[in-house]
């Protein structure tokens, strides 16, 4: 025998289908709930992100651009205030009309800043500050025009009075109004920042809710699957036990039937054929040597003897009586010699250890495993040589049947009933059977049967 390595070969028949309720509807409900929660969260989050984008682009960014333009306006107003302070200094070397160009430049910059501010404003200017800004600015420039007109006509005293009483007050009012708008923008930025934070918090809370709901659904679905699997495995265990009992009963019934048929063939039909042979021999002896009937009687007797031999051979095949009379080792030698002639393969047999008596029930199952293994190797392995080894150990009996042919496909495929029957027979006698693959290829069938308490394994 060569070394071997194990291969996984499934020899179990497919389990019967469970008659319980399918867990598919419950799993579908759990899946739909999970998908619904994810979809709802995704939709809500998308809407919140859209709102956040609007806040950041339409409000925050525009509000900041508006504040920059208001600061520009306030800076120009401060420049006007400084210019008017210089204009009120009567000791200055320049006339009031000298500031006309500076006011014109500041006016253009203010107009540009107000125009940009109007475009960048985050909301339409509908409040009193927003409505009064343009009017106050227009009134201020009207007053500036009148002041420079007075100065152009040589009335600088009245012009300075106009600056002191009107222009400075209007400039101060405009600065106050712009400051209020800046404060309003700052407040709006704080409100927007609070709204953004609220949206972030809401998205975070909804994420926690989704996580909790998803975990609950997954947990519920998992518990449901576990419960269903436990029931399914329990049903499969019951069905498997029932299938095993049925298989064992069928095997036991088959062996009982074969034993009965074998005895009937050996005892009844064998005795009849033996009696026919005796009667034909007696009739032949009473017939004259020259009588043609004598030759016919001899021929019929030979046919009866051949039929008797065939009946005895068939009886031994169905249930070998030598198994009970001579034991397992002698039965193996007889069967392997017969199988070599019938199957056309060379079978090498080796016995190791001292033969011990084996229970009849155990012996017949070991013999049937040998028959099935030899038959499979001869029909499917595409080999011309088979090795059989029977080993007697102190507490167990081992049977190895090895070939170096095609081997058993361990990757799947439909299994024959012969493999199932071998496994069932091994279980009937409390043993085990494994299918190995030798290093040189092929298949090694190894049956191990305990020799202790073999009387307990009856059928």
Total count of residues recorded for the chain: 459
Residues 201 and 331 in one domain: no
pLDDT at 406: 78
- Which of 205, 221, 237 is where one domain is finished? 221
Q: What is the CATH number of the domain that holds 348?
A: 3.30.565.10
Q: Determine contact, residues 84/171, Cβ cutoff 8 Å.
A: yes
Instruction: Indicate whether 57 belongs to any domain.
Output: yes
Residue 417, domain extent: 320-456
DSSP of 157-206, one letter per residue?
A: HHHHHHIIIIIHHHHHHHHHHHHHHHHHHHHHHHHHHHHHHHHHHHHHHH
pLDDT at 54: 67
Residues 206 and 84 in one domain: yes
- In angstroms, the CA 54 to CA 24 distance is 44
pLDDT at 290: 74
Q: Is the pTM of this model over 0.95?
A: no
- In angstroms, the CA 447 to CA 11 distance is 14
Q: What is the CATH number of the domain that holds 209?
A: 1.20.120.1730
Beta strand 346-352 with 396-403 is: unpaired
Residues 208 and 337 in one domain: no
- In angstroms, the CA 347 to CA 402 distance is 10
- Which of 221, 256, 272 is where one domain is finished? 221
Residues 211 and 325 in one domain: no
- Which of 186, 221, 256 is where one domain is finished? 221
pLDDT at 130: 60
pLDDT at 317: 67
Structural domains counted in the chain: 2
pLDDT in tens, the chain (459 residues): 444 444 333 344 444 444 456 667 766 777 777 777 778 777 777 777 777 776 666 667 777 888 888 898 889 989 988 988 888 887 777 888 888 899 999 999 988 888 888 777 655 455 555 667 788 888 889 999 998 898 888 888 898 888 888 888 888 888 888 888 888 878 877 887 787 788 778 877 877 887 787 788 788 877 888 888 888 888 888 887 777 777 767 777 776 676 667 666 666 676 777 777 778 777 777 787 777 787 777 788 788 778 877 776 676 666 677 777 788 888 888 888 888 888 888 999 999 988 888 888 888 889 889 888 888 888 887 788 899 999 999 888 999 999 888 776 543 444 566 788 888 888 888 889 998 888 878 889 999 999 864 444 444
Return the exposure string of 8-24: e unless at least 16 CB atoms fall within 10 Å of the residue's CB, then b. ebebeeeeeebeeeebe
Instruction: Indicate whether 134 belongs to any domain.
Output: yes
What's the count of helices (H) and strands (E) in the chain, helices before strands?
Answer: 12, 6
Residues 330 and 437 in one domain: yes
Angle at 149 between CA 176 and CA 154, to 5 degrees: 120
pLDDT at 188: 79
Instruction: Indicate whether 270 belongs to any domain.
Output: no
Q: Determine contact, residues 252/425, Cβ cutoff 8 Å.
A: no
- In angstroms, the CA 238 to CA 227 distance is 17
pLDDT at 198: 82
Instruction: Indicate whether 262 belongs to any domain.
Output: no
Instruction: Indicate whether 213 belongs to any domain.
Output: yes
- In angstroms, the CA 441 to CA 443 distance is 7
């Amino acid at each position: 025998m060569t070394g071997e390595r194990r291969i996984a070969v499934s020899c179990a028949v497919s389990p019967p289908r469970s008659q319980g309720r399918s867990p598919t509807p419950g799993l579908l409900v759990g899946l739909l709930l999970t998908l619904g929660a994810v979809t709802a969260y995704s939709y809500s989050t998308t809407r919140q992100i859209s709102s956040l984008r609007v806040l950041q682009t339409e409000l925050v960014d525009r509000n900041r651009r508006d504040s920059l333009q208001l600061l520009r306006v306030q800076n120009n107003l401060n420049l006007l205030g400084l210019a008017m302070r210089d204009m009120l200094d009567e000791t200055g070397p320049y006339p009031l009309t000298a500031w006309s160009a500076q006011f014109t430049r500041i006016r253009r910059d203010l107009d540009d800043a107000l125009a940009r501010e109007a475009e960048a404003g985050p909301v339409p200017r509908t409040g009193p500050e927003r409505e009064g800004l343009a009017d106050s600015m227009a009134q201020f420039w009207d007053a500036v025009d009148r002041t420079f007109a007075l100065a152009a006509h040589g009335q600088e005293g009245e012009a300075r009075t106009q600056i002191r009483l009107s222009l400075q007050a209007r400039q101060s009012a405009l600065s106050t109004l712009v400051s209020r708008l800046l404060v309003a923008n700052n407040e709006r930025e704080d409100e927007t920042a609070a709204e953004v934070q609220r949206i972030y918090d809401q998205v975070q809370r909804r994420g926690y809710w989704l996580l909790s709901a998803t975990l609950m659904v997954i947990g519920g679905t998992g518990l449901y699957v576990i419960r269903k699997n436990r029931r399914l495995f329990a049903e499969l265990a019951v069905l498997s036990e029932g299938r095993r009992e049925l298989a064992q009963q069928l095997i036991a019934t088959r062996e009982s039937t074969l034993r009965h048929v074998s005895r009937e063939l050996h005892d009844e039909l064998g005795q009849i054929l033996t009696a026919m042979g005796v009667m034909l021999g007696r009739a032949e002896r009473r017939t004259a040597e020259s009588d043609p009937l004598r030759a016919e009687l001899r021929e019929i007797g030979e046919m009866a003897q051949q039929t008797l031999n065939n009946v005895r051979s068939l009886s031994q095949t169905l249930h070998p009586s030598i198994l009970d009379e001579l034991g397992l080792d002698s039965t193996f030698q007889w069967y392997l010699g017969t199988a070599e002639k019938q199957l056309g393969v060379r079978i090498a047999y080796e016995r190791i250890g001292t033969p011990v008596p084996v229970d009849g029930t155990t012996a017949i199952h070991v013999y049937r495993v040998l028959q099935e293994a030899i038959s499979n190797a001869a029909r499917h392995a595409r080999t011309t040589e088979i090795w059989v080894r029977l080993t007697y150990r102190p507490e167990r009996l081992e049977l190895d049947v090895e070939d170096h042919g095609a081997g058993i496909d361990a990757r799947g495929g439909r299994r024959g009933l012969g493999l199932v029957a071998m496994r069932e027979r091994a279980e009937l006698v409390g043993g085990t059977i494994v299918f190995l693959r030798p290093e040189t290829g092929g298949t090694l069938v190894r049956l191990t049967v305990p020799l202790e308490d073999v009387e307990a394994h009856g059928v």
